Amino acid sequence: MNKSDTTCKSSASIIFGVAFVWFTTHFGGGFASGAQIYSYYVRYGIWCLIMPAIAMFYNGIFFAYGMRFARRHEVYDYRSYNNAFYGRFAPIFSNLFELLYICVMCVAPAVAFATGGATLSTLTGLPYLLCTLIIGVFIFIVAIFGTDLVRRVASVLSICIIAGLLIVYIPNILHGLGSITAAAAQMSQAPMPFGKALYSAFLYGTFQLANIAVFVQHSKVFKRPNDAVKSMGLGFVVNALMMTMVCLGIMTVYTNPDMQTASVPTLLMVQNGVGKGFMTPLISILIILGAVSTAVNMVAAMVKRVSDGFENTSATTSHIKTREIVIALICCLVDFGIAQFGLLTLIQKAYSFLAYLAIPVILVPYVVHMIVTKFDTK
């Protein structure tokens, strides 16, 4: 094997790995439980079959643009990246982004704590408080070891999650084809306006935009800036397909009267599908893995941002590590507290609030930047 072949394979593995950082960040507690997909897509009727792809294409453009910019200009923590990206407007928008990301850091990992803790409690019978503490300890330990470990964990978790989801969803979708057809017919009889479904998908994609703070740190491993486009292209395919599959799975129980009150639609699907005895613990484990993966990526990004700021002043390696531990601990404690408000409240209210905050801070400035710089070529 010559050097060119080795380099090509290394580049491909990096592109693959970073693409799955997107998936593991996206596949959090709300996604895994089905509550997020139901709230933003399935309840808007038949449009749920195309809206996930639209939202992920929208996200893919922005993520690829941001990561390509980070690699070209060699800015890999989100503060340095924002200062370079916003240019002379950085004193305003970099600080606004900090406020937005603090809100994200309070919501997304809190959802992970709530979902993982509730699922673990159901599986083991242990108190919810103890289970959320166990989830938090695991997130804390992984986050303090830096982005390289996070990326390796992301790839492993992605493979496990995708394999498990296929095992759970494909048999249930095939078993429930009649129910899916009935659900589609019911949805078509009283269709939701396309505009409402599109707006819901827009909100979903917009609150995800803050994840650019997670992704820029991984841009450093790309061999060339355009690898970011390839990586996010692959990420779009994976995320869109998995979301559509979850939509179809939830449609198998769409006409079930219990659907109106189900806080975890995925579990309702499994309990009314095939292999209940085997599928229930399996999907519960997947929910926990999905919840943990999101929180790990979010906490690691914040740790890097804050610790890099201290490193620019003065410190030895041991002191920097101590700071990282303290920062991660503070993040985990705050998220643990917020998780006590409950999963559905955080998904339905807090996520939409994040989307409205992201419109002036990320969406509008990025569109202007794309136009003025001709996609960062001018």
Q: Among all chains, which residue has been given the structure tokens 């996520």?
A: 351
Report pLDDT for 324.
80
Q: Are 207 and 354 in contact (CB under 8 A)?
A: yes
Distances (CA, A) of 334 to 108, 136, 375: 12, 11, 38
What's the start-to-end Cα distance of the chain, in Å? Answer: 39
- Return the structure tokens found at 280: 């229930």
pLDDT of residue 4: 58
Rounded CA gap, 59 and 272, in Å? Answer: 33
Rounded CA separation 267/263 (Å) = 9
Give the tokens for residue 227: 């690898």
Angle (CA) 280-119-130 rounded to 5° is 145
Q: Write the CATH number of the domain with boundaries 14-310+322-372.
A: 1.20.1740.10
Q: At what angle do helices 90-124 and 351-358 cross, to 10 degrees?
A: 160
What is residue 294's predicted lDDT score, i.e. its pLDDT? 73
Supply the DSSP string of 75-140, one letter for each residue. --SHHHHHHHHHGGGHHHHHHHHHHHHHHHHHHHHHHHHHHHHHHHHHHH---HHHHHHHHHHHHH
Q: Which two tokens stand for residue 364?
A: 């509008």
What is the model's pLDDT at position 24?
78
Q: What is the pLDDT of residue 279?
A: 87
pLDDT of amino acid 289 = 78
Chain length of the chain? 378
Long-range contacts of the stretch 148-151 (C-beta < 8 A, 24+): 150/21, 150/296, 150/297, 150/300, 151/17, 151/18, 151/21, 151/218, 151/221
Residue among 225, 233, 188, 215 nearest 72 (CA): 225
Task: Report yes or no: 263 and 39 within 8 Å, Cβ to Cβ.
Answer: no
* CA 250 – CA 183 distance, rounded (Å): 10
pLDDT, residue 119, reads 76
What is residue 84's predicted lDDT score, i.e. its pLDDT? 95
pTM for the predicted model, two decimal places: 0.84
Whole-angstrom Cα distance, residue 120 to residue 132? 8
Q: Distance (Å, rounded) from C-alpha 178 to C-alpha 167?
A: 19
φ/ψ (deg, to 5) at 81:
-60, -50
Q: Going residue by residue through the chain, which has 378 residues, state the pLDDT in tens, using 9 for 90 and above.
A: 555 555 666 788 899 989 988 987 788 767 878 889 999 999 999 999 999 999 999 999 999 999 999 999 999 988 899 999 999 999 999 999 989 988 887 888 888 888 888 778 777 778 878 888 888 888 888 777 655 666 666 667 777 778 888 899 999 999 999 999 999 999 998 788 999 999 999 999 999 999 898 889 899 999 999 999 999 999 999 999 999 999 999 999 999 988 877 777 888 899 888 888 888 888 888 888 777 777 777 787 677 767 766 655 544 455 557 878 888 888 888 888 888 787 777 888 889 999 999 999 999 999 999 999 998 887
Dist. CA 179–CA 168, nearest whole Å? 17
Distance between CA atoms of 253 and 179, rounded to whole angstroms?
7
Q: Among 118, 95, 128, 136, which Cα is nearest to 328's?
A: 136
